[in-house]
Amino acid sequence: MKKTLTVLFACAALMANAQKKSDNNLVQYVKPIIGTERMGHTFPGATVPFGMVQLSPETDTASYDLNGHYNPDVYKYCAGYQYEDKTIVGFSHTHFSGTGHSDLGDFLVMPMVGELKLNPGTADKPGSGYRSAYSHTNEVSEANYYKVKLDASGIIAEMTTSARVGFHQYTFPKSDNAHIILDLMAGIYNYPDKNVWTYVRMVNDSTIVGYRQTNGWARTRTLYFAMTFNKPFIQMGYKNFSKHEVYGGFWGKFNHVKNFPETAARQLKLWFDFKTEEGEKIKIKMALSPVSMDGALNNMQAEIPGWDFDKVKNDGQELWEKELHKIVINASYDDKVNFYTSMYHAMINPTIYMDEDGQYKGLDQNIHKADGFTNYTTFSLWDTHRALHPLFNIIEPDRNADMVKSMLAHYDQSPEHMLPVWSNSANENWCMSGFHSVSVIADAVIKGNAPFDANKALDACIATATHRDYQSTGLFMDMGYIPDEKDDNSVSLTLEYAYDDWCIAQMAKKLNRMGVYDRFIKYSENWKNVFDPQAGFMHPKEADGTWRKTKFDPFTTIGMGFIEGNAWNYTLYVPQDPKGLIKAMGGDKRFIIYEDSLFSYNLPDKYFAETEDITKDGIIGNYVHGNEPSHHDAYLYDWTNEPWKTQDKIRMILPKMYKPTPDGLGGNDDTGQMSAWYIFSAMGFYPVAPGSDQYAIGSPAVDRAVINLEDGKTFTINVKNQSPKNVYIQKILLNGKPLNGYFISHADIMNGGEITFFMGSRHI
């Protein structure tokens, strides 16, 4: 699913200062990478690893609805921030990183001086509202820190976070008319009726609490907050912008526009008035909770009890240093920027979703307590099952195990009795296809990272895979494929189900449940039923068993039986059985010609003009790196007699799709999947089929990498003589012994040791 990034902007001065830091400080290499120019799906703000709060500027307020129809411009604001925009409308506390559909953008805060304005105004006339012009020269972003000067007022805005609390620091000029606006109407992918209800209660003259319910991508999302200032406000007020509240009860008995202790409506904006001295800092803590207002207050007290902004910033950056040091590389400066920016992106999602005391709202909308695990949300599994979760099984095994436990809790609470497909904030949004939580669970079980009831997990996988009412699953089981007439994505669905069922078979075999294995390994071969040997492509098949009778164009993405991809790319989507695919396509020679053509064909723009999440920047030939189904393609040469072509293609993809520039990522990050691909590929190996313990060898682009494993062991990757020209492997030593073939196992890594690549300019 498409997707957004997460980026850090560093001004020239910041980058110069970074060069002076100790090379042991890895945060310095997290730099500006935001995606292609067209997308720019970024939030350049502050967050800690996997934090619930992701505090970031919003640069515009496009509505999802335009005259009763989808507004294409809203796609640019999946993360709220567009690098090309010249104004900021405020700073909100929740964001997605690299998703092409969106939600969130909760609790927008904006400081201002002078006449109070409660509308943002327009980008061409920022003075018409509370929005402000700004310049990138006055903008700084580091891990867990964001700073910008608001030109309209001269206010310096700074922000940092803990896991559940956003910490704002606004340096004001001298003013008798200073304001903080809290916009409870604002949101990402917003529309007039998205707010279901909003409530605010004044606790005292410096603290309020409340909640907001929204109906968006997550249709029953409720988020609670507690907001406190470091000095009392002179007064607070609100305005109700609701237009269609037919009944308001008898609240008219009070004059409750200013300083009234509570208010509730669909569309609210609040303001807080202050007097400030020159250079005075007004600080705000905004704590979030999925459970209650008291939960938000408790989170604030537990995580940020005081007002030391720099301490919170530094504590968060120390957390980032710990995470980034899980892989330490030697490489050029630009490659370090690419690598550690990718590490940063990979450790933003999934996000913590529970209070400090372990309570969280479940999919059944009841309150639960996580017993012995951290509960997570934001599972973009169509993307992240491919490389992000396999990466976690190496460098974050305990955290990944908790993510699996969160998925199993989701299953227990699911009215449909299914594992997550794309879940967020106690909601399942059913976005994208397949049921790839199965892949994540199987990968953990196969790789020995399963501190949970693996048999119960397998039962959940089986129940999900055999839920006959879910997106043609019954047809897949009964007919061996999904007919073209029954689903627009009939071919890609068949391929994805076949892979997921293979994952179930591997898990069943591991657990010695051979009856389950026999059933699902048969399902995993259903990919053969949509491969047309005469055409040489995966092909839509009709219910009568014949190939689609209408025109079929293997270059076209829309209307050809595939989701976010064309037949050229999806024909290679049999990660569970590359040997079988190569045989079906005519053997090594014909398969290699096909792969070569994928990378060399010049795909005309018309073939991706209708896909808002893909531009030319994300394509090499006809290979679409900006969309995940292609991510394993270059590694398939390893199963042929020309594995050197994997090495050649990987080293071509790396510099084309990942650059240390603001528009340097060839697509959306998809909550870390694009970045995980880079991390694996730069180190020289990749998990082609999660659910297997095998990694395919590529071509390492670092000089050295040390993976610091959680048990204290290390796995060291030494690379001799690599350069942009020396991309071909001459030989490989694993723990001092020659490695025969181009595969290593998960145990090879987790047992510790070293692998040494000897590189050269000619393939062998």
Which CATH number covers residue 79?
A: 2.70.98.10
Q: What is the pLDDT of residue 16?
A: 33
Q: Which residues pair with 286 in a beta bridge?
A: 166, 227
The pair of three-digit structure tokens given for residue 195, joined into one six-digit string: 């707010």
Could you tell me if 683 and 576 lie in one domain?
yes
Question: Rounded to whole angstroms, how far apart are CA atoms 486 and 494?
Answer: 12
Query: Is the distance from CB of 290 to CB of 360 less than 8 angstroms?
Result: yes
pLDDT(601) > 70: yes
Domain presence at residue 184: yes
Looking at residue 740, which CATH number applies to its domain?
A: 3.30.2080.10
Handedness of CA 596, 600, 606, 611 (dihedral sign): positive
Q: What is the pLDDT of residue 551?
A: 86
Domain that holds residue 304: 12-309
Q: How much of the chain, in percent, has pLDDT values that exceed 90?
A: 82
pLDDT(18) > 60: no
Considering 241-255, 450-464, 550-564, the range whose residues carry the highest mean pLDDT is 450-464
User: Which is more confidently placed, 128 or 307?
Assistant: 307
Domain presence at residue 357: no
pLDDT(283) > 50: yes
Could you tell me if 436 and 301 lie in one domain?
no
Q: What is the pLDDT of residue 34?
A: 54
User: Which is more confidently placed, 467 or 619?
Assistant: 467
Region 396-423: mean pLDDT is 98
Average pLDDT, the chain: 93
- Nearest by Cα to 695 from 668, 732, 728, 730: 732
The pTM of the full predicted model, rounded to 2 decimals, is 0.95
Domain presence at residue 734: yes
- Could you report the per-residue pLDDT of 317-363, keeping only the tens digit for each? 999 999 999 999 999 999 999 999 999 999 999 999 999 999 999 99
Could you tell me if 260 and 384 lie in one domain?
no
User: Which is more confidently placed, 519 or 659?
Assistant: 519
pLDDT tier at 67, thresholds 50, 70, 90: confident
Number of structural domains in the chain: 2
Could you tell me if 51 and 142 lie in one domain?
yes
Q: How much of the chain, in percent, has pLDDT values that exceed 70?
A: 95
Could you tell me if 338 and 284 lie in one domain?
no
Q: What is the pLDDT of residue 22?
A: 64
CA torsion 222-228-229-234 (nearest 10°) is 90
Domain presence at residue 317: no
DSSP 386-413: TTHHHHHHHH-HHHHHHHHHHHHHHHHH
Q: What is the pLDDT of residue 567?
A: 95
Question: Rounded to whole angstroms, how far apart are CA atoms 580 and 681?
Answer: 24
Could you tell me if 34 and 167 lie in one domain?
yes
pLDDT(505) > 70: yes
Domain presence at residue 213: yes
Could you tell me if 334 and 283 lie in one domain?
no
Three-state SS sequence of 251-291: HHHCCCCECCCEEEECCEEEEEEEEECCCCEEEEEEEEECC
- Could you report the per-residue pLDDT of 194-224, keeping only the tens digit for each? 999 999 999 999 999 999 999 999 999 999 9
Q: What is the pLDDT of residue 249?
A: 82
pLDDT(25) > 50: yes
Question: Rounded to whole angstroms, how far apart are CA atoms 460 and 471?
Answer: 18
The secondary element (H helix, E strand) that includes residue 84 is none
pLDDT tier at 256, thresholds 50, 70, 90: confident
Domain presence at residue 6: no
Q: What is the pLDDT of residue 75?
A: 86
Q: What is the pLDDT of residue 41?
A: 67
Region 466-485: mean pLDDT is 97
Could you tell me if 340 and 284 lie in one domain?
no
The pair of three-digit structure tokens given for residue 299, joined into one six-digit string: 């989170």
Could you tell me if 103 and 75 lie in one domain?
yes
Query: Is the distance from CB of 332 to CB of 354 less than 8 angstroms?
Result: no
Could you tell me if 380 and 465 lie in one domain?
yes
pLDDT(78) > 50: yes
- Nearest by Cα to 148 from 16, 51, 18, 8: 8
Domain presence at residue 231: yes
- Nearest by Cα to 147 from 157, 137, 132: 157
The pair of three-digit structure tokens given for residue 496, joined into one six-digit string: 């994805």
Question: Rounded to whole angstroms, how far apart are CA atoms 244 and 253?
Answer: 21
Could you tell me if 294 and 331 lie in one domain?
no
Could you tell me if 299 and 337 lie in one domain?
no
Region 76-103: mean pLDDT is 91
Domain presence at residue 648: yes
Q: What is the pLDDT of residue 252?
A: 79
Residue found by looking up tokens 């199993």 in the block: 408
User: Which is more confidently placed, 190 or 605?
Assistant: 190
